[in-house]
Amino acid sequence: MVEAIDDLADRAGPTVREFSAKAAEVAAVAADRAGPLARKAGEATADASGKLAEKSREWATEVRSTLSDAADSVSGNGKDASDAAGDVAGDTADAVHDAAADAGDAVEDATRHAG
């Protein structure tokens, strides 16, 4: 029985090596073809990331401006703090919504360009 297994292993060796070589060739072709796609996906992701960073900075500026405006109106016009806080909260919610929508658009664009 041991001799039969050894004989089978000896005869199967070249076939197994041939299949292994073919598998390596297929993997190499797949890697060659995947390279440009991966590069495009990376570029699209970088673009989306840049857009998201830009929108985030704009949003932060808007929030700071809104806070500053609210503080000025509380001290300057006699408006009570709860009204000013409500204005700030509403403006902030709008800015967050706009930033999220813009980020979603940037991701959609990146996905579309990557494919």
2 occurs within a structural domain: no
DSSP state of 80: -
The total of structural domains in the chain comes to: 1
86 Cβ contact list (under 8 Å, min separation 6): none
For residue 71, what pLDDT is reported?
Answer: 61
The two counts, helices (H) then strands (E), for the chain are 2, 0
13 occurs within a structural domain: no
98 Cβ contact list (under 8 Å, min separation 6): 59
Q: Residue 21: pLDDT band by 50, 70, 90 thresholds? A: confident
5 occurs within a structural domain: no
Global pTM value: 0.40
pLDDT surpassing 80 at residue 58: yes
Residue with tokens 């990146």: 110
| Mean pLDDT, range 40-63, rounded to an integer | 82
